[in-house]
Amino acid sequence: MQFQDFSVHAAIEKLTALARTAHDLTAASGLTAQRIGEMKTSFCGFDLLYATQRVTPEVLDALQELADEAGLIAAYTAMRQGEVLNRIEGYACENRQVLHTACRDVFADPPLAAEASAKARRELEKLRTFLDEVAGGAIANAEGKPFTTMVQVGIGGSDLGPRALYLALKAYALPGRSARFIANVDPDDVAEVLSGLDLSRTLFNVVSKSGSTLETLTNERLIRARLAQKGLDPARHVLAVTGEGGPMDDPSKYLRSFYMEDYIGGRYSATSMVGLVTLGFVLGFEASMEILRGAHEVDQGAMEPDIRVNLPLLLALLGIWNHNFLAHATVAVLPYSQALSRFPAHLQQCDMESNGKSVTRQGKAVGWQTGPVVWGEPGTNGQHAFYQLIHQGTEVVPAEFIGFRQSQYGLDLNVEGTGSQQKLIANMLAQSLALALGRQIDNPARRFSGNRPNSVLIADRLTPYAMGALLAIYEHRIAFQGFCWNINSFDQEGVQLGKILATRLLDLIAGRTAPEEVNPLEESMLKQARIG
């Protein structure tokens, strides 16, 4: 696959010109009922309403041209087929395939990446057996009692996606099952999680692709020590998810070992064993497969070249329009669903670790903006907090609303003519309109400029299928943008330097640094912070 610089495409000039007179949503017929009806894409159970973006049919046509010129569908197809896309030409790099979609390709016949898909099936079968054994009592604690809680121990990609999905779907937990998560090396995090648990009924799922992450290995040691103190055998309570053949691949130490492959990036690993072991324990095997089915259907739909049909591609291009042409630096993802409370945190990692890059795939400095700052919180809570800036601040923040027509638990009450779920969604739609239209009145303090671009993504209910679909929609939005900007969205060199320096500081604190190796800056930082 040949990638070209973002700046070379003919559509760029067209889009730059169109951005000078971007659609005015506040004008007399800037936002009409007809426009709302027309600017809508339905895809895998979700409707995307984007009439409240500052686009016209002409802009959409130019964005389509950009997608075609940049070969976004060809790049995505190459990714799914296993081309080595995690690379920077001519430089030392990870040099890997990018095959998180193979985890979901188990539904495809034939799969696009046959070998990777076969490995995913093998792990799924192991998971099914494990879950059957837990359910049937073959796996139980020393007293023969069933396990009720799984604590996932992992950080970054081995935490954020799985945690976001667990919180999103715990309404569907099997009776008596729950999960907790420990990520930080902060001992208080471990203490707080363990304090509420009956350890004798708890499984610990230690997740580390590399098997060498300081935080996770430290927490595993702490947990093993705690189990031993309580007279519990760690080999009965601790599982592993890791890279086959890696430092943590020692089945004798674990109740079970599950594997993930190096071609699945941490932040894209929620649908591999990294997410599915804990999700499977809580939700059961069938519900976990529904997550994969939702993701897979999006994977398939994302092959469609028409941006008005392919929702992840459209989201990607609307994001590019807002970021590169209308010059908006950030994007807020605002789910009107408490269950999605950690989904923005997952996206923060998935998007910013993927597209926070300054060199092209050929190792040259980029001459255009790449990934925006991504942030967000659930509504309506955010409305009582930072929405002030979104409505009236000097920084225009494009917003992506996510909502559901029905609640998960079905517990609702009609108060003054509407239920809580209706209030929740009415608020979301009201925000979308308010940001777009603004309010032009004489009082400057109460005036709203409007023209604040946003879109609404809505589905019937946050089910395992919908969660899988939503996850994949965003994964592919990110990948399409990265392809378009000609950057490698699949490495994360930017997190390495801090890790190296932290190791040096720890060596210094532990007295392992030879006197001639002591760096005065590092020594001074420790001294002034009074650490050590």
CB nearer to ligand G6Q: pick between 308 and 357: 357
Q: Which of 26, 77, 129, 210 binds ligand G6Q (CB under 6 A)?
A: 210
Q: Tell me if 32 sits within 8 A of 436, measured CB to CB.
A: no
Residue corresponding to tokens 């392919």: 310
Name residue 41's beta-bridge partners.
48
CB nearer to ligand G6Q: pick between 232 and 260: 260
First CA to last CA distance, the chain: 51
Nearest CA to 386 out of 442, 344, 327 is that of 344
CB 154 to ligand G6Q: min, Å: 6
Q: How far apart are CA 229 and CA 200, in angstroms?
A: 12
CB 150 to ligand G6Q: min, Å: 17
Q: Tell me if 176 sits within 8 A of 211, measured CB to CB.
A: no
Nearest CA to 304 out of 24, 72, 8 is that of 72
346 is catalytic: no
Q: Which of 53, 97, 208, 271 binds ligand G6Q (CB under 6 A)?
A: 208
Q: Which of 101, 213, 455, 481 binds ligand G6Q (CB under 6 A)?
A: 213
Residues 168-187 that bind ligand G6Q (CB under 6 A): none
Instruction: Choose one: 10-18, 118-126, 210-218, 357-365; the region binding ligand G6Q (CB under 6 A).
Output: 210-218
CB nearer to ligand G6Q: pick between 105 and 159: 159
CB 232 to ligand G6Q: min, Å: 24
Compute the Cα dihedral for 500, 505, 507, 512 and give only its sign: positive
Tell me the Cα Rg of the chain: 24
CB nearer to ligand G6Q: pick between 213 and 463: 213
Extract long-range pairs of 390-397: CB within 8 Å, 24+ residues apart.
390/332, 390/435, 390/452, 391/434, 391/435, 391/448, 391/452, 392/448, 392/449, 395/329, 395/330, 396/326, 396/328, 396/451, 396/452, 396/453, 397/328, 397/330, 397/331, 397/332, 397/452
Residues 151-170 that bind ligand G6Q (CB under 6 A): 154-158
* x/- letters, 488..507, toward ligand G6Q (CB under 6 A): ----x---------------
CB nearer to ligand G6Q: pick between 220 and 290: 220
9 is catalytic: no
Name residue 152's beta-bridge partners.
181, 205
* x/- letters, 214..253, toward ligand G6Q (CB under 6 A): --x-------------------------------------
CB 363 to ligand G6Q: min, Å: 21
Q: How far apart are CA 250 and CA 463, in angstroms?
A: 36
Helix 57-69 to helix 72-81 angle (10° resolution) is: 50
CB 527 to ligand G6Q: min, Å: 29
384 is catalytic: yes
DSSP state for residue 398 in the 8-state scheme: -
Residues 324-363 that bind ligand G6Q (CB under 6 A): 353
CB 152 to ligand G6Q: min, Å: 11
Instruction: Choose one: 43-51, 170-178, 206-214, 224-232; the region binding ligand G6Q (CB under 6 A).
Output: 206-214
Strands 46-49 and 40-43: antiparallel
User: How many residues belong to the site for ligand G6Q (CB under 6 A)?
Assistant: 15
Provide the token pair at 50: 């984007």
Helix 311-320 to helix 57-69 angle (10° resolution) is: 100
Name residue 375's beta-bridge partners.
332
Q: Tell me if 241 sits within 8 A of 205, measured CB to CB.
A: yes
Sequence letter at residue 531: I
CB nearer to ligand G6Q: pick between 222 and 433: 222
**Contact between 209 and ligand G6Q per CB under 6 A:** yes
CB nearer to ligand G6Q: pick between 241 and 435: 241
Instruction: Choose one: 91-99, 113-121, 207-215, 222-230; the region binding ligand G6Q (CB under 6 A).
Output: 207-215
CB nearer to ligand G6Q: pick between 272 and 463: 272
Of 94, 123, 261, 353, the active-site residue reads 353
Residues 253-312 that bind ligand G6Q (CB under 6 A): 265-267
Of 145, 230, 499, 527, the active-site residue reads 499
Nearest CA to 451 out of 37, 48, 9, 26 is that of 26
User: Cβ-count burial of 355 within 10 angstroms (0-12 exposed, 13-18 middle, 19+ buried)?
Assistant: buried
CB 468 to ligand G6Q: min, Å: 19
CB 359 to ligand G6Q: min, Å: 18
Task: Give the number of other CB atoms < 10 A from CB of residue 515.
Answer: 5
CB 100 to ligand G6Q: min, Å: 10
Q: How far apart are CA 136 and CA 140, in angstroms?
A: 9
CB nearer to ligand G6Q: pick between 265 and 450: 265
CB nearer to ligand G6Q: pick between 353 and 400: 353
Of 384, 395, 416, 516, the active-site residue reads 384
CB 370 to ligand G6Q: min, Å: 17
Q: Which are the catalytic amino acids?
A: 353, 384, 499
Interface residues with ligand G6Q (CB under 6 A) are 154-158, 208-210, 213, 216, 265-267, 353, 492
